[in-house]
Amino acid sequence: MPLLHLFDLDGTLMFGSAAPVEISRQLGLSTEIAELERAFAAREMEPHEFSLAAHALWAELTPAHVRAAFDGSPWLTGIREVWRDIRERGDYCAVISLSPSFFVELLMEWGAHAAHGSVYPSVPFTGPLEVAGILTPEGKVTVADQLCERFGVTREDCVAYGDSMTDSVLFASVPVSVAVNARPYLAERATHVYVGRDLREAYRLLGLPRSEAAPS
């Protein structure tokens, strides 16, 4: 049975930053997003409240800002190599993130089979943000179940990669998990723990046979 690898984005594929932070940086709104990030991390805001505030903050956002944010983000090295190895094995890789869909979906360019974020209107924004489309920690599991059905696997075939509290529900629902640069709360609940900046090293902790993605 193939494996389905489920990757968080912020703090996991991206080192020490998050898509909303990188998007806001392009707009000169780093101070404003830092306060929202702090409030969300302190659980003073729910995911939909954070997303509504971010959507309002990004009224001037253009596709060029989004591309510059994506290209300038502090990605871990080796992401494309790991996803290529996953594909060559006949396994599947997907990104499930609470961050905006218009950013998360760019990771399809790097070889993910699927990329799901919180559903935002297309950029530049002309319509309102629908709260129903905002992902939650529990919603990540719902998306994972949909992906399992799409790829013909079960939760028992899933590996989750994450860094924070928002990954804890998904970690609890799959048999194998990799904490990547994670908060202690999540690391204590993970099968494997990785600290560093090379996704190939985190992936290698799984001990999959005939891995060709090991760092040289």
Whether 52 and 100 have beta carbons less than 8 Å apart is answered as: no
Strand order, beta sheet including 176-180: 114-118, 92-100, 4-7, 158-162, 176-180, 192-194
CA–CA separation, 144 and 76 (whole Å): 23
- Write the DSSP assignment of 23-70 as a string of letters: HHHHTT-HHHHHHHHHHHHTTSS-HHHHHHHHHHHTTT--HHHHHHHH
Q: Which window, 1-9, 125-133, 138-146, 178-186, contacts Mg ion (CB under 5 A)?
A: 1-9
Residue 128's Cβ-count burial label (10 Å; 0-12, 13-18, 19+) is exposed
Q: Does 20 bind Mg ion (CB under 5 A)?
A: no
Task: Kindly tell me which of 16 and 63 has the beta carbon lying closer to Mg ion.
Answer: 16
| Local structure of 127: helix, strand or coil | coil
CA–CA separation, 22 and 68 (whole Å): 9
The residue from 5, 7, 8, 96 that contacts Mg ion (CB under 5 A) is 8
Q: Which window, 40-48, 65-73, 137-145, 157-165, contacts Mg ion (CB under 5 A)?
A: 157-165
Task: Kindly tell me which of 26 and 99 has the beta carbon lying closer to Mg ion.
Answer: 99
Q: Does 157 bind Mg ion (CB under 5 A)?
A: no
Task: Kindly tell me which of 136 and 211 has the beta carbon lying closer to Mg ion.
Answer: 136
Q: Which window, 5-13, 22-30, 31-39, 83-91, contacts Mg ion (CB under 5 A)?
A: 5-13
Q: Does 37 bind Mg ion (CB under 5 A)?
A: no
Q: Which window, 46-54, 109-117, 119-127, 163-171, contacts Mg ion (CB under 5 A)?
A: 163-171
Q: Does 10 bind Mg ion (CB under 5 A)?
A: yes
Pairing of strands 92-100, 114-118: parallel
Task: Kindly tell me which of 7 and 102 has the beta carbon lying closer to Mg ion.
Answer: 7
Task: Kindly tell me which of 11 and 100 has the beta carbon lying closer to Mg ion.
Answer: 11
The residue from 3, 6, 7, 11 that contacts Mg ion (CB under 5 A) is 11
Q: Which window, 146-154, 158-166, 170-178, 207-215, contacts Mg ion (CB under 5 A)?
A: 158-166
Pairing of strands 192-194, 176-180: parallel
Residues in touch with Mg ion (CB under 5 A): 8, 10-11, 163-164
